Structures are given as structure tokens and as C-alpha cells.
């Protein structure tokens, strides 16, 4: 009874607070920093989308932090589920013919589409995180279809750490050459607007992010599914 | 198109409420995935394709599968 009263009170309080936020409306004027981003973002970085310009250049340090958070959560899952590794695995139930044939058809295009998303991050919507998630979906389909196929863990781990280190190195090069971490102008040629090789370091950073996110999520899925497989064999 | 948006908003809310109310955990997981799928379309309609892609790939694909795996493992144990 008391719990229910408290729940209703909290909900009413939340509603009042949210109503005040919504009723205030959106401010008519942008702040100084926001106006600079909106007006100069596309021109300064020669990226075709403003979102990319903000995420990779102006807020690049935040993106590095997000990648680090993802890395830590995958490490946590691997640590918690580690005890399933040493147990002998029973042969898993094979997937149906439909799943296997569909996976064989779809995994290639899905991987290619994921790579396309992060390589064209500065030209079209999407970027490292989205491309990495699509790649992880392709790996998930592969795991569902051929459950006894081992993933190349040494390669994935190498890819993950190399791309993570590459991200930091790109940032440090900016610090050394121009004097600000992850600087874009003055570090690499900006190139012609709306071309594949343009926008300075943005495509490099997005490619590294995509590879890192993709390999991390693929490892995470494999750890979880393999644990389940061994559990199912008992 | 506005009518379609309104219908989709109502469906999203209905799926979200159903996910909380429904008895079976499996149905709840699928309904949460459905909420993500509808939400990703709404994000696309509101002009945020980046968010829509993330929501579709992570919200409705990866996290649904992770929830399903977790459900299966916990059920076996009890």
C-alpha cells in the first residue's frame, strides 16, 4: 500500500517536472557555441552532415569516452561469464536449413553494408557506432546459423585494440601538430566537399570506431551465445 | 503522413504498456523489440536518421537477442 502511494507520488512529481520543461517551449535563440556549430560545422570540417561534424570533431573526446564505456562493459561481461569457458561443450543442435541458407546469402551483404555505413560516415547519415552495430548483427546471424563455428578471437582482439589505439594516436597527432586533441583542420587535407576522400581525419576516426565497435559487440555476442551453448549441453 | 505518425505513436505506446502488463517474459521481450522498431521509424520521420539506425540495430536487434539469451539461461538454472 505504502509502496503504491510512493510510486504514484513519484510519477506525479515526474509529470509536473516534465510538464514545466515542455511548457517552456524551445528557446528561440541558440547559444554561442551552438550557433558556431550550426553555422560553421559543415564548412569548417567539409563533412556533409552536421551530426558527424559535431560527433567526431567538436565532441570527439566524448566519442572516445563512449567507445571506452563500451569496451569496459564488454570486459565486464567477459569477466563475469568467464567460468563457462573451461567446461566441455556438447555438440549444439544444428540450425534449420532455412536459417543456414538465409544466413549464407545475407551475411556478406550485411557486413559490406556495415562497412559502407562507417566509411561513408562523413557523407551520409550514420557512422562508426551504427556501422559497428550492423556488423555485429551480421556476426549474430552467422552465430545463429552455424553454432559450432568458432570466431577468430585473436584477430578480433587485435583489431579492437589496434583501432582503439589508432583513435588515440589520431587525437594525439592533432594535439602535436595544431595544439588541440582530435583537431581536424591543419592535420590532414580537407579535400573537396562531398567526396569520399575528404573531411580530414573524420573518415579515419569513423572507420576506426566502426571496427572497434563491431569487433567488441561481436565478441560480446559470442561470449553470451557460447555460454548458453555449454549450459544447454548439460 | 501525419495520420500514419499518430497511429504509430499510439501503437508504440500500446506496445510499451503491453510489455509491462503482459504475463509471459518472452512476450514482454518481443514487445520491447517492437517498441524499438516503431520508435526507429518515428525517429526517421522526425529527421534523425542517425538515431533511427542506432535504435533499429541496437534496440530492436542486438538487445532483444541478448535479453532472449539471458531469459533462456536463467530459466534453465531454476
What is the greatest pairwise CA distance in chain A? 66
Give chain A positions within 8 Å (CB) of B76. 231-232
CA proximity to A214, closest of A148, A156, A149: A156
Asked if B46 is an interface residue toward chain A (Cβ–Cβ < 8 A), one would say no
Q: What is the pLDDT of residues B38-71, one digit of tens each?
A: 999 889 888 888 888 888 888 888 889 888 888 8
Q: A-side interface with B, Cβ within 8 Å?
A: 49, 51, 117, 125-127, 129-130, 133-134, 136-137, 140, 217, 221, 224-225, 227-228, 231-232
Distances (CA, A) of A51 to A158, A160, A202: 30, 25, 12
- Residues near A88 by Cβ (< 8 Å), separated by ≥ 6? A230, A233
Radius of gyration of chain A (CA): 23
Would you kindly state where each structural domain of chain B is located, as residue ranges?
2-77
The reply to whether residue B49 touches residue A126, judged by beta carbons under 8 angstroms, is yes
- Residues near A30 by Cβ (< 8 Å), separated by ≥ 6? A38
Q: What pLDDT band is residue B78 in, cutting at 50, 70 and 90?
A: very low
Confidence at residue A234, expressed as pLDDT on a 0 to 100 scale: 38
CA dist., res. A157 & res. A139, Å (int): 15
The reply to whether residue A224 touches residue B62, judged by beta carbons under 8 angstroms, is no
Distances (CA, A) of B74 to A84, A223, B28: 14, 16, 16
Would you kindly state where each structural domain of chain A is located, as residue ranges?
50-232
Q: What is the pLDDT of residues A173-202, one digit of tens each?
A: 888 877 777 777 766 666 777 777 777 778
Model pTM greater than 0.95? no
Average confidence (pLDDT) over A132-149: 86
Confidence at residue B14, expressed as pLDDT on a 0 to 100 scale: 92
Q: What is the pLDDT of residues A201-231, one digit of tens each?
A: 788 888 888 898 899 888 888 887 776 544 4
- Say how many C-beta atoms besides its own lie within 10 A of residue B46's C-beta: 11
CA proximity to A167, closest of A208, A201, A213: A208
Amino acid at each position: 500500500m505504502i509502496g503504491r502511494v510512493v510510486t504514484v507520488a513519484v510519477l506525479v512529481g515526474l509529470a509536473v517536472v516534465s510538464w514545466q520543461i515542455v511548457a517552456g517551449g524551445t528557446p528561440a535563440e541558440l547559444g554561442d557555441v551552438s550557433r558556431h556549430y550550426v553555422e560553421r560545422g559543415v564548412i569548417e570540417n567539409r563533412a556533409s552532415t552536421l551530426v558527424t561534424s559535431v560527433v567526431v570533431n567538436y565532441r570527439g573526446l566524448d566519442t572516445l569516452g563512449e567507445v571506452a564505456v563500451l569496451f569496459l562493459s564488454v570486459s565486464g561481461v567477459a569477466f563475469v561469464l568467464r567460468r563457462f569457458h573451461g567446461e566441455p561443450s556438447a555438440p549444439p543442435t544444428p540450425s534449420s536449413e532455412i536459417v543456414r541458407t538465409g544466413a549464407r546469402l545475407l551475411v556478406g551483404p550485411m557486413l559490406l553494408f556495415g562497412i559502407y555505413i562507417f566509411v561513408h560516415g562523413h557523407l551520409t547519415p550514420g557512422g562508426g557506432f551504427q556501422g559497428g552495430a550492423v556488423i555485429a548483427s551480421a556476426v549474430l546471424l552467422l552465430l545463429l546459423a552455424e553454432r559450432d563455428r568458432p570466431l577468430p578471437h585473436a584477430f578480433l582482439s587485435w583489431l579492437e585494440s589496434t583501432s582503439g589505439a589508432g583513435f588515440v594516436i589520431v587525437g594525439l597527432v592533432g594535439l602535436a601538430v595544431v595544439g588541440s586533441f582530435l583537431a581536424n583542420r591543419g592535420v590532414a587535407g580537407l579535400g573537396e566537399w562531398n567526396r569520399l576522400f575528404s573531411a580530414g581525419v573524420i573518415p579515419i576516426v569513423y572507420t576506426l570506431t566502426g571496427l572497434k565497435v563491431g569487433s567488441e559487440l561481436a565478441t560480446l555476442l559470442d561470449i553470451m551465445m557460447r555460454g548458453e551453448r555449454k549450459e544447454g549441453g548439460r | 503522413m501525419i495520420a500514419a505518425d499518430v497511429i504509430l505513436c499510439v501503437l508504440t505506446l500500446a506496445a510499451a504498456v503491453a510489455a509491462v502488463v503482459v504475463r509471459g517474459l518472452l512476450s514482454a521481450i518481443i514487445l520491447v523489440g517492437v517498441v524499438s522498431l516503431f520508435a526507429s521509424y518515428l525517429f526517421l520521420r522526425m529527421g534523425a536518421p542517425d538515431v533511427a539506425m542506432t535504435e533499429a540495430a541496437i534496440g530492436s536487434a542486438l538487445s532483444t537477442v541478448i535479453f532472449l539469451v539471458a531469459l533462456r539461461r536463467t530459466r534453465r538454472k531454476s
